């Protein structure tokens, strides 16, 4: 786990950061549908899992910009930026109707990431423990698939004043609309380090990376 400390005096969001980390501590979230038609087609053609392909694309997007890799060290009151962040995915156990978090290392190499993520999921299916270990996984972001519903909106709340900077991303079932398959995606970030532009940019980057992925 490597990171660099951000100089708050030269931080390009200095004023916004101060306001939303001191005066008005809050989060901001957004839900939008993205077109996954071609990603579904590519997944079927290659015999790979759509879910894991999207998880790779999401991880690549969130690692592409410093704003999505920010962190806060409360012990030293330091704003930091991690070199890399990794997805915490989840496996659902039908018999207990509970989930177990699955820590997967992000690797820019698609084949390496896919293999590791698939193996991590298979191992997690063997347990029924919740097993959340956030203290030892500070540079992990939450990536959760809500497979039972193609929803219209979703809001994740954290305690007021809690300076948690890792992105929280959820997505639901895709559904067909006018011959295309659209999937709801929700992104929650702390307002101190993200605003509407940065949230909207996640969706723009996802669409761009999907287009790039299916052409590879």
Rounded Cα–Cα distance for residues 169 and 196 (Å): 15
Question: What pLDDT digit, counting tens, does each position of 6-16 carry?
Answer: 999 999 999 99
**pTM higher than 0.85:** yes
Question: What pLDDT digit, counting tens, does each position of 76-134 carry?
Answer: 999 999 999 999 999 999 999 999 999 999 999 999 999 999 999 999 999 999 988 98
Label each residue of 16-55 as H, E or C: HHHHHHHHCCCEEEEEEEEECHHHHHHHHHHCCCHHHHHH
Question: What pLDDT digit, counting tens, does each position of 135-151 carry?
Answer: 899 999 999 999 999 99
Q: Which CATH superfamily is domain 3-215 in?
A: Chloramphenicol acetyltransferase-like domain (3.30.559.10)
Question: Domain boundaries in the chain?
Answer: 3-215
């Amino acid at each position: 786990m490597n990171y660099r400390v951000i100089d708050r005096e030269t931080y390009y969001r200095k004023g916004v950061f101060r306001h939303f980390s001191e005066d008005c501590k809050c989060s901001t979230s957004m839900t939008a549908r993205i077109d996954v038609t071609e990603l579904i087609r590519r997944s079927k053609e290659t015999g790979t899992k759509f879910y894991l392909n999207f998880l790779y694309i999401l991880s690549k997007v969130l690692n592409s910009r410093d704003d999505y890799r920010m962190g806060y060290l409360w012990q030293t009151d330091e704003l930091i930026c991690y070199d890399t962040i990794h997805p915490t995915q989840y496996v659902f156990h039908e018999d207990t109707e509970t989930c177990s978090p699955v820590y997967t290392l992000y690797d820019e190499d698609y084949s390496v990431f896919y293999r590791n993520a698939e193996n991590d999921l298979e191992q997690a299916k063997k347990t029924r423990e919740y097993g959340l270990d956030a203290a030892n996984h500070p540079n992990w972001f939450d990536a959760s698939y809500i497979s039972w519903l193609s929803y219209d909106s979703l809001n994740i709340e954290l305690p007021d004043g809690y300076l948690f900077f890792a992105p929280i991303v959820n997505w639901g079932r895709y559904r067909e609309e006018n011959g295309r398959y659209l999937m709801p995606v929700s992104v929650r970030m702390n307002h101190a380090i993200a605003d509407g532009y940065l949230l909207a940019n996640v969706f723009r980057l996802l669409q761009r990376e999907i287009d790039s992925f299916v052409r590879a």
